[in-house]
Amino acid sequence: MDKTIRDHGGDIYTEGQLRGRELLDFSANINPLGIPKSFKENIKSILESAVNYPDLKYREAKENIKAYLALESSKYEIILGNGAAEIIDLSLSLLKKVCIAVPSFGEYRTSALKYDIDIEYSYLKEEEEFHYDYEDILRKLHHCDGLILGNPNNPNGGIIDKKAFQPILDFCEENSKLIIIDEAFIEFTGEPNRSFLQESLQYQCLIVIRAVTKFFALPGIRFGYGITTNSKVAESIRSKQLPWNINTFAEVSLKYIFKDKEYIESTIRYVNKQKSLLTEGLRKIPFIEKVYESSGNFLLLKLKDITDEEIFESCLQRGILVRRCGNYEGLNHSFIRVAVKDRKSNDTLISLLKDIHI
């Protein structure tokens, strides 16, 4: 099997399009409502902008982000990236030794290894529902100069407990350590106070990273952004970027999608309802031992008497792609992850899984 399809979700090409097959993709955690109507309705305006170079300073794009997130303070620094992955990668490049809470998004480790950064893992324990071990993270940070973690975390959908995290914030602020918080899935919670944007006003140790990929169902335009009040960190990241790293297509789309309140509110309601129904259905499958509670638009499943490889192959033969989790640091071949999709697709998945006999 190709390495890409093992390492990431969303590879509909290797086993799908390049072989003339259409796959129902549960491996990529994309908003099931699809591309916002506001984007489609303004596609002509967005396309017309492609004849010009983007603004080298991306001033309008940054103003649209500030308005969307209600960032009123002039202290906020906004760094734009070719997807959240670019900001994550360049933020990690500033470190010498990083603490990574695992299991988590594989690109954290990939980027750290690329820059020869030493890694200290803090393991989320299965017996504790894969919640963050805040005491362990704090201990590890005595030997690291930075931390990266997801909020919500991928692949389990766990959210940071702010009260338990407070000692970590204080320690990192006092000791000039960097905390990178990946909030690619935060909008799905429907709770803005779960974000660390407000905390970043007080804590210069923080950089919060987001994208339009997941919530706005626009992975193809490759747009992410980082927010911090640490001007030194912001400038260090920008100094490593190429000019015009964001295309005009992505830049101009922000003024439409970020104002689409109907889409935003509908997404939160729809995903929460479908997640509940999908969870209920999955819990009736005999070989699914556990469905973990998730604040994201995806679910981590614990299997029994069958491996992730076997489930993957069985689903693939029937035209469905799921995310095997055996290659996540901190997990094994007893786990898979599935996205929350539309009702019809979710029912198709449940029906298929019911037909797998072990």
Q: At what angle do helices 106-114 and 84-92 cross, to 10 degrees?
A: 50
Tokens of 103: 């299991």
Please name the residue that has the structure tokens 């901190």: 330
Average pLDDT over residues 271-279: 98
Q: To the nearest whole number, what is the mean pLDDT of the chain?
A: 94
When pLDDT is averaged across residues 324-330 and rounded to a whole number, the result is: 96
What tokens does 152 get?
């919500």
Q: What end-to-end distance do the CA atoms of the chain give, in Å?
A: 23
Give residue-wise pLDDT tens across range 230-251. Answer: 999 999 999 999 999 999 989 9
Q: What is the CATH number of domain 3-30+261-354?
A: 3.90.1150.10
Instruction: Write the CA distances from 2 to 11, 13, 15, 88, 150, integer angstroms.
Output: 10, 11, 9, 25, 27
| Bridge partner residues of 118 (DSSP) | 97
Q: Any idea what the Cα angle at residue 70 is, between residues 66 and 71, rounded to 5°? A: 60
* Region at 129 (left for phi over 0; alpha for psi -120 to 50; beta for the rest): left
User: 37-257: which CATH architecture?
Assistant: 3-Layer(aba) Sandwich (3.40)
Identify the pLDDT of residue 6: 46
What are the structural domain ranges in the chain? Answer: 3-30+261-354, 37-257
| 94 in Cβ contact with 117 (< 8 Å) | no
Number of helices and strands in the chain (H, E): 14, 13
Give 130-183 pLDDT, tens digit per residue. 999 999 999 999 999 999 999 999 999 999 999 999 999 999 999 999 999 999
Tens digits of per-residue pLDDT, 12-68?
Answer: 445 544 455 689 999 999 999 999 999 999 999 888 988 989 999 999 999 999 999
Query: Predicted confidence band at 109 (pLDDT cuts at 50, 70, 90)?
Result: very high
